[in-house]
Every structure is written in structure tokens, then in C-alpha cells.
Amino acid sequence: MLFSGSMTAIITPFRDGRVDEDALRKLVDWQISQGTDAIVPCGTTGEAVTITYEEQDRIVRIVVEQAAGRVPVLAGAGSNSTANAIKLAKQCKAAGADGQLQVTPYYNKPTQEGLFQHFRAITEVVDLPMVLYNVPGRTAVNMLPETTSRLASIDTIIGIKEACGNLEQIKRIIADTPKEFAVFSGDDAMNFDIYRAGGRGAISVTSNVAPARVAAVWDAFNGGRVEEAQRLHEGLSVLNKAMFIETNPIPAKTALAMMGRCREEFRLPMTAMGEEHRAELKSILESNGLLT
């Protein structure tokens, strides 16, 4: 399988308003050394909606170059415009990405037929494996299992990142799609439950700051050590919650800045974390042995 296991939805580090290429390369190396199975740049956690086409291309090229075939790269290429999503997908393919992550169009609130036609249109132009991304809390539209099942019949659509928060919906997708179609957790708090339901891995926010621990959950589960996996997952519960005490990616990037791995710099409308939450986050990182 092209993508599986613990995959990091990596942040985009900035320095003085520009992509911090050196910090990004170091983050990729660190992630791989910690057992991460794939890198996912230019997603929600990567502040994709505020980067330019040129920056998206450069970020993907850097991640592909730095990963150097050690792990696959699943590049975010989503847009609420089908034409723009096609343009981004073409860039990802040209940059050498192994696959594209395509979110359901946000703000537009397309119908289920509109969702189907959007994703199908991209596959008809760009021959690059696609992982769908359903995150209704961000997009204001929930892609229903019936639509996902229709899309799963398209050869180049190989899986879905599910962040709907509804385990029954996710179980239905797993039951109703071909065995080779992969369902990935898009909600760290649900990783273990989704693995147990038949998920093939997670595209994680928490793994930005604790990649080895998030990977260990999958490795234990995939190795048949289910009780160990559950224990390791439960041990991450406080950290998982901390990654969402403010809007993602504010906590993850703030945590990495505290850990000395990037600058604490965002693009508006994302702003620095409030002082009360900052103190809470620091305490949680300390208790998890992440500030050394």
C-alpha cells in the first residue's frame, strides 16, 4: 500500500513572512528519524489556504527532496475551486509527490453530486493517486458514505482521510468500499478506534510534536499488540486535546517553537496563542517530556 501508518500533517514554518526552508528540511528529517511513515505538507496544519501557488510548489519540492524516497509524500492540493485544485494537483505531480490530498470544497457547500463531480474532474486531468479528505467542521459540508463509495470505484482514488468525528459513518465507509481503499483517521483522539474498525493509519496533527509516540501506537496495533496500542493511545489523550485548545495549527506550531524546532510565526488570520492557553500548553509539553 502506497500510504499507511503514522503520517504527519506537517506545519509550514515561516521566517519573516517567508517559508523557512531550513526549518522545514530539519522537520522532515526529524519526522522520518522518529518513525513517521509519510509526510503530508500543505494541508490544514500547513496553513495551506494562506500560501501562494509558488510557495505550495516550493514546499512540496523541498519535502520530496528532503524525504529522498525514505517515506512517501502526500501533498495537499485542495481548493474550493475545481480549476484551482487541478492546477495544484498538477504542481504536486510535477514536484514529485507520491499522491495528492484533496479536501472537500469549503465555503461553497456543494451537494453530494457536486462533491463527486469535483473529485472526478481532478482525476480525469491529473494522473496522481488521490486521498480524499472529509472534514465537515472546517468545510461546512459532510461527504456521505454513499458518495465516498462512488468515488472509491475510480482507480486513482485510493483512500480517504476521515475527520467527520462519527465512528459509525467511518465504519460504514470501511464496510462499503473495496478492501484496497484505505480509510485514515483525521482526528488524533479517534486514531485507535479507527484502527480497530479497519483503518489503515492516521494523518496526524499530534505527530508534529510527538512523532515517535504517535507512530508507536500504529506500530503496536499493526503488529497485533492491540492492548499495548490502546494503552499508548490513551497515554496521548491529554496531548491530543492540547493540539486543539486553539484552532489548528496554532497549538502545534506554538509547541514546536517552544521545542526550538521553528519560529512562532503565523499568517493572518492565524495569530499567536493567548497567554492562558500558552501556559497550559507549556505545562502539558513539560509533563510529556517534550521540553528538554
- Answer yes or no: 282 catalytic: no
Cite the DSSP H helix spans in the chain. 21-33, 53-67, 82-95, 112-125, 136-139, 145-152, 167-176, 191-197, 211-222, 226-234, 237-242, 250-258, 275-287
- 218 grid coordinates: 500504529
Q: How far apart are CA 7 and CA 92, in angstroms?
A: 18
Catalytic residue status for 133: yes
Count Cβ neighbours within 10 Å for each residue of 66-94 and write b for 16 or more, e otherwise: bbeeebbbbbbbbbbebeebbbbbbbbbe
Which one of 133, 171, 195, 253 is the catalytic residue?
Answer: 133
Omega before 72 within 30 of 0, i.e. cis: no
In the numeric block, which cell numbers belong to residue 83?
480549476
Give me the catalytic one of 90, 107, 161, 253.
Answer: 161
34 contact partners, CB below 8 Å, separation of at least 6: 211, 212, 215
Which of 173, 170, 99 has the alpha carbon at shortest distance from 131?
99
What DSSP state is assigned to residue 49?
G
CB atoms inside a 10 Å sphere around CB 16: 7
For the annotated catalytic residues, the residue numbers are 133, 161
